[in-house]
Structure 1
């Protein structure tokens, strides 16, 4: 997700407490540790070391946080390439998930929807100084970069799944991870205030349209999630997502088995 910043915020971030320029582009130790943990847990799942359900749960959580960091990094990188240097001072180019933390969007909603419903929602937030972005197209590209990253990860997972032989907890878990990436991309591309889809079209909306949307914007995303709990809408949404994962060559039974492994407590 992207959020608008202001010029004054950028000046504050460039003070003594800002991220040193020489380290503003390096992957953070936290991100590298998460990648390492995802690799180790994925290898353990592949090798049959430890309880499969526990290993699956750990692998999914770590992989999900890594993908969240990549999603938000993509927003920041495109913003940086198009004139917003504030993302360097805020540490967004370090891939540190703690830099993208927003209490509601980063912690509460993603965990609730991932654990309770298996819905993948990138929960980070990067503050972009939109006044520094050079063109409307570039502003749209900043918002589009996140969900396109999820789609790219989904395609990589689909490629890996294309080499599967037989069935195993590892392949089931990889299938569920692909499902989460597709879900995240589709949700974020919806033109709802607070999601990247709205950020893509926002630069082309009139001031009158933006003023009309402003009163409901802070609550629109919650309304969307409330709709997803309506059985008919929920069924239609997940049918569409399963259709996309099937198009990528992943059987729905694999996704269901991966979801069941992830929720080991049920």
Structure 2
């Protein structure tokens, strides 16, 4: 065994977080501090907070795929740098990070991106293949619950009232909500995780939901699936472009978000604040 390797094909620093991930994490902390205290242009602060949390979740999503693949038998994910939480190491950085960030900025939707490349030949058993696919969306679910926790336990003192003009205002024990921009950014971040969870679990060829059921399909259905897989993301995007389907989707996502405790109006306020250029 080489002194630079933990085992064959596994670099010694395979699980050490990359400087890129540390930078993303630092941006989450700094932007959260700025938003909490209202320093500078608070709408820019909200933008940085929401986008940095979203990129952080993308890193964790792909890391979950990679770490489950590693312990399922594909040691090559370590050599490819997937275990260091570096989004620049993904198969398609533009699809994995760039496009999802653009979708958040323009539409407030957590689109799934590209993925880490897993060598399935080294992984035995259909269940393990499904677990690898499910690991990413499961991370989004856990992240959504964590972000929603302050609203559930009452740490965020946010209540809705009507100002008499049919408009919603936010009230707290003192008649106003402290750190409203921070809580709005957090609510939007939780909402984005819900959208990502729902989309990633849809059985669309090429996406995590489709890959989850792929090992259990008959050979004939697998061949058809493999033909459709390269176009799954385009198909999903085209469907969401349809106004009626888009309305159904967002209605479902808002319902799920409210079930876990995320105030719908607060996430909408977060989206408006984030778009500081509008």
Tell me the TM-score normalised to structure 2 length. 0.85
Q: Does 1:35 align with 2:25?
A: yes
- Match of residue 223, structure 2, among 192, 195, 211: 211
Correspondence for 1:3: none
Query: Where in structure 2 are the equivalents of 1:109-188 lying within 5 Å?
Result: 109-162=99-152, 163-165=155-157, 166=172, 167=177, 168-188=180-200
Report the counterpart of residue 250 of structure 2 in structure 1. Answer: 238
Pairwise CA RMSD of aligned residues?
1.7
**Aligned match of 2:261:** 249
Q: Which residue, out of 63, 66, 72, partners 2:56?
A: 66
In the alignment, is the contact (CA less than 8 A) between 2:97 and 2:113 conserved in 1? yes
Deviations 1:171-200 (A, max 9, x none): 000000000001001101111112100111
SS of alignment partner, residue 215 of structure 1: helix
Match of residue 5 from structure 2: none
Q: Larger Cα Rg: Structure 1 or Structure 2? A: 2
Report the CA distance shift for 1:25/1:184 in structure 2 as closer, same or farther (over 3 A): same
Distance 2:97 2:61 in 1: 16
CA deviations over 1:152-183 (Å, ceiling 9, x no partner): 00111111233102430000000000000010
Per-residue CA shift, 1:185-235, capped at 9, x if unaligned? 110111111210011101111110111233332112211111111111111
- How many angstroms apart in 2 are the aligned matches of 1:261 and 1:242? 18
User: In the alignment, is the contact (CA less than 8 A) between 1:71 and 1:122 conserved in 2?
Assistant: no
Alpha-carbon distance in 1 for matches of 2:184, 2:11: 42
Structure 1 length-normalised TM: 0.89
Q: Which runs of 5 or more residues in structure 1 are unaligned?
A: 1-18
Question: 1:7 matched to which residue of 2?
Answer: none
- Structure 1 runs (4+) deviating above 6 angstroms are none
Cα-to-partner distance string for 1:117-138 (whole Å, 9 max, x where unaligned): 1110242410001111121101
Preserved CA contact (<8 Å) 1:68 1:124: no
Q: Residue 10 of structure 2 contacts residue 75 of structure 2 at CA under 8 Å; is this kept in 1? A: no
Instruction: Determine if contact 1:25/1:93 at 8 Å carries over to the other structure.
Output: yes
1:97 and 1:221 map into 2 onto residues whose CA distance is: 19
Distance (Å, rounded) in 2 between the aligned partners of 1:256 and 1:156 = 19
Equivalences, count: 249
Equivalences for residues 17-56 of structure 1 within 5 A? 21-56=11-46
SS at match of 2:227: coil
Output the CA distance in 1 between the equivalents of 2:23 and 2:98. 23
Matches of 2:181 and 2:98 in 1, distance apart?
Answer: 28
